Amino acid sequence: MYEQAFPPEERRNLAAQQLLLNNGALRLALLENEGNYAGFVFYWELTDFVFIEHFAISPEQRGGGIGSSVMRLIEQEHPRMVLEVEPPHTDDAIRRIRFYEGLGFKAYPFPYLQPPYLAGGTPLSMLLMQKGMPLEEHAFTKINSEIYLEVYGCL
């Protein structure tokens, strides 16, 4: 499902992901609904916020409120959340942005580039969205720097 939900340029290779999971830096929550696999969340607990790296609900489970319920559960434990989304250039991207906005997320109005997961890859233009965090540029800069260093291993 990870490979179906995210294009190659937006995901880690399996070995790197497994290493991060094994050392506890990256966390994984597997989601179930009535005993059936419903999706997953990969996330990082950073200094004062959670960075949601990948979140997907299985196609057959979508539309029933599971995604919203999962995000509300995460928020109970981690009221300060940050995530990346594609810019609103496709119907799917617009739908995702609206989903997160409906949960109270707001996009930072500053340019954000997702560092490449693959060696030699190109950074991707994305939006950084937050909930429970300040919207000022100094907060964005601090969050951006921590994500670059901790999640992507770059400065």
DSSP for 37-99, written as a single string: EEEEEEEEE-SSSEEEEEEEE-GGGTTSSHHHHHHHHHHHH-S-EEEEE--SSSHHHHHHHHH
Q: Are strands 50-57 and 81-85 parallel, antiparallel or unpaired?
A: parallel
Q: Report the C-alpha gap between 57 and 112 in whole angstroms.
A: 25
pLDDT surpasses 90 at 119: no
pTM: 0.94
Phi-psi region of 64 (alpha: psi -120 to 50; beta: other; left: phi over 0): alpha
Q: Given a cut of 90, is residue 116 above it in pLDDT? A: yes
User: So what's the pLDDT on residue 120?
Assistant: 87
Q: In percent, how much of the chain has pLDDT > 90?
A: 87
pLDDT tens digits for range 65-91: 999 999 999 999 999 999 999 999 999
Residue recorded with tokens 């400065």? 155
For the chain, percent of residues with pLDDT exceeding 70: 99
Indicate the burial class of 35 (C-beta count within 10 angstroms; 0-12, 13-18, 19 or more).
Answer: exposed
Residue 33 has pLDDT above 80, yes or no: yes
CATH number reported for the structural domain that contains residue 93 in this entry: 3.40.630.30
Q: Is the model's pLDDT at 155 over the cut of 80?
A: no
* Position 112 pLDDT exceeds 90: yes
Task: Give residue 63's pLDDT.
Answer: 87
Supply 26's token pair: 């990256």
Instruction: Give the residue numbers spanning the domain of 22.
Output: 2-151
Q: Which residue has the tokens 């950073």?
A: 46
Look at residue 105 and tell me whether its pLDDT is greater than 80.
Answer: yes
Q: What's the whole-number average pLDDT of the chain?
A: 94
Split into its structural domains, the chain has a count of 1
